[in-house]
Chain A
């Protein structure tokens, strides 16, 4: 699991741009440091000459002691391999660097997030506004010196819980008896909320001119409370008649400060919090986080635990795709029947989770070095029944029910086309990318756990429309069933955890980017450790968040009824989009 393959290209990069690229010398850190002024040239060289066409992740970290802020980029090749890491260090007082949106449009939303949460300005960004908090919010929350209103101590466990605890609600500790903090001298009398002017200006700027009659355009807001937006998600749409001319997604309505809380938690406390990221696929999120931390600590996982992990991850993938198909049909207007059929199968999978991990949705099952508990007696027979009898039959039934239906085909074929070059440029991953024809699946491109020993196909679509995405997800359920069958047949006996269960882990200092193929796409965790019992920086590369970059391009030119369908095919879960 070392970074050796990528460093070959790093030295090539250093040869080509000798003054601008230097190795990151901090202990435990990988990647190269690049000067901010030449970032754009290096990035284009990576894309055109070295073949790194997918910008996996853009994130930032705050180092107040060194008076610097880091912006960390991870580049991947669509042909596979480990990611290449580059960093830019900017002064903390004046953090500015050029934006990569012109070369990699997928950086757009992530750079806005770095501006919002850390205050880093990206020059040349087309629309640098706050994304997860709101315009007018005071401060940049992820900075180390910014404390939230309910601030108790820097890290958990808090000293006032034991041994002398005087239980009081958190409200009592603050001046305003609530989770509020205002700048000194602030007078709320007659405060006018900052309107969405900036949003609507950006909307109009990105509109394309349509040929023919010049008509008035109206702005319609879909959401945040809307029956079909899969959660609290808002889209501002510029309409000409019923045709969409421009679209801007607005998120942050479920921003639950996962990353700030992640820095306060200890390493193991973060596992139940990752359950709540993409709440439908909790096992997969656990998997991603635990894989990243295990890369840092270097612990190796026993065989049985690996098999159990893959079993749970694939069951989660099936459950997630079932929901995706069911809710896509809801969005088409099939009044709940297909989703009820899909939810019925999902209930059986949730029963497995409940018996094994203890909860239907928030499983909290994975631990560093293995899993929390073994299968209860008799469980393997029930999972065998699911994998060999029940699920194949249900998928075949769903296939017969929906795939050839003329209504589904008429409403989904040719809608929301995403060409593969644009998909890669916009950092799209997961079934959305594969339906456009790019065979990029992390389980084959950058294998982790035991996936290199298992036999399955990567499902790829041809046209990149909504119908293909539905077909890809349906077929991926079949491939997951195939993996499940191999795992159920081949699971060995043995321990389920390396070493003894530990409530407090000391992770060696350094940084790591660990990723897994979640049902929605590449779920990555960028972690920085300073050798203590709590993470220093904790960032989630959320696939749904980044896949939304492609929404505007897919919807342009379609009718408003199709927006709902296209959003359903992108398959977002707000817990991950907003973290």
Chain B
């Protein structure tokens, strides 16, 4: 019974998310475009699937993943677990947080693989590139970027180094990569930064950041707890462009080898 109430709440919230889109499309169809929408029935069924699917997805996450993830994040960053029971620590030792970095990387990777918006973008990219961009290839590359980003982000919280230095350095890398990366991947790479952080990743990652900054000695959750999401949206851009660059070099090299063989 309790679950049904919870589920209806989530369903209502998801429905409210869709409401502005429905209003917008209806207004434009009726007032501006003034023509019937093709396959209307199918579209409506699809829309209902999206809303119910997303609500089920979120309800399941709230039942299974979020409580567990939150407990684990707080247990792993607990100073009893990190420094051994009963020790009083005044200065954080960044070397003691190995499990935290690993957990951050793995949970970042795993949640990104399950991220519905990334699934959607990978689907579209595969369709548009006529299959040259593989759905799983893109998703794993992005997930590796998120894993590295969040892991580095927890390292930043532990060491207390300023957020903007990391982000600015990341931007520099992106700018340099943009100059060399194959042109047709650039837009998709930029996009993959924005899609990684939604329904699954944000709540878990936010809990990790706030929990960590509350338990690491000398950190203030208000100032240090934020910023993990920024890491998670920056590094996928780097990995996606890097992967495209690698593939590009590889094809060029094999072309050169082929040419050499032909010349002989």
Task: Tell whether A pairs with B.
Answer: no
